[in-house]
Amino acid sequence: MTVIRLAGIHAKYALLETMRVPIAVIGSLVFPALALLFFVVPQEVVAADPFFATQAVISLSVFAVMSNSLFSFGLTISEDREKPWDPYLRTLPVPGMARVLSHVFSIGLMGLVAIVPVIIIGGLFTAAEASVGRILFGLLALAVSALPFMLIGVCVGYSMPSKAAIAVVQIVMFGFAFAGGLFLPPMMFAPWLNTLSTFFPSRQARELVIWAVQGGELAPWVWLGILGWIAVTLVLALVLFRRDEGRRFR
């Protein structure tokens, strides 16, 4: 069997396992949509302006994918490491890449599902607008910008137990959300905070998706920052993976 097929099978059963706990799925779907419904839709100045409404929908879509990536990778991996089933799986003659891709497939699909309610509410109750081509381009940009969050989740999952991972993921998630301009537009930031936020992957993801959907000029710090976060977190994730393997079994 090819690596892709093995990854597909593993992702299938990972999704089935997730579906057995409906609240895990409902939480990912509801929270970003409620944030848009309660904090954006009632603000007529934002909701009635196509430019600002579209950016608000994009920001909460980034938040939905980010929170899903951090929680799913961080908590799933940390919890699996505490179960005897995980070491057994890692001793099977299956490439490690198959398991990594299975997480990407299953969690990535959940992330895409999480933004559907946001897009629907934005389309029905705000003046947000974009062509089909721009929306598809935005989804591609969203998938690319999700990679740093997935890798950060991997780092959390392989570096600490599940009880600690829950707290750390929550701190990272809300810190990235506020500092990255996902809850409050960066144009309302103080100059020093606006400069600082450009170093956060959440701000870089927001600007990348806005550029993909609304056009305009893409600042170099956006794509350079995303590439930098991917490179650093990928190396760190590999180091933590090998360290975990050396500690628990050889």
3-state DSSP assignment of residue 183: coil
Helices (H), 82-145: 85-91, 96-125, 132-145
Cα distance between residue 14 and residue 63, in whole Å = 23
Look-up of token digits 């099978």:
9
pLDDT at 101: 78
Cα distance between residue 107 and residue 110, in whole Å = 5
User: What is the span of the domain harbouring residue 186?
Assistant: 3-248
pLDDT at 203: 95
Tokens matching residue 39: 């904090």
Q: 6: which residues sit within 8 A by CB, 6+ positions away?
A: 94, 95, 98, 102
Q: What percent of the chain shows pLDDT beyond 70?
A: 94
Q: CB of 63 within 8 A of CB of 182?
A: yes
Q: Cβ-count burial of 25 within 10 angstroms (0-12 exposed, 13-18 middle, 19+ buried)?
A: middle
Q: CB of 76 within 8 A of CB of 198?
A: no
Residues of the chain with pLDDT under 50: none
Cα distance between residue 16 and residue 26, in whole Å = 15
Q: CB of 98 within 8 A of CB of 13?
A: no
Q: CB of 169 within 8 A of CB of 67?
A: no
End-to-end CA distance of the chain: 25
Domain count for the chain: 1
Q: 99: which residues sit within 8 A by CB, 6+ positions away?
A: 7, 10, 89, 90
Q: What is the pLDDT of residues 173-221, one digit of tens each?
A: 999 999 999 988 898 899 999 999 999 999 999 999 999 999 888 999 9
Cα distance between residue 58 and residue 137, in whole Å = 12
Question: How far are the Cα atoms of 95, 113, 205 from residue 89, in angstroms, in the given order?
Answer: 11, 28, 34
pLDDT at 204: 96
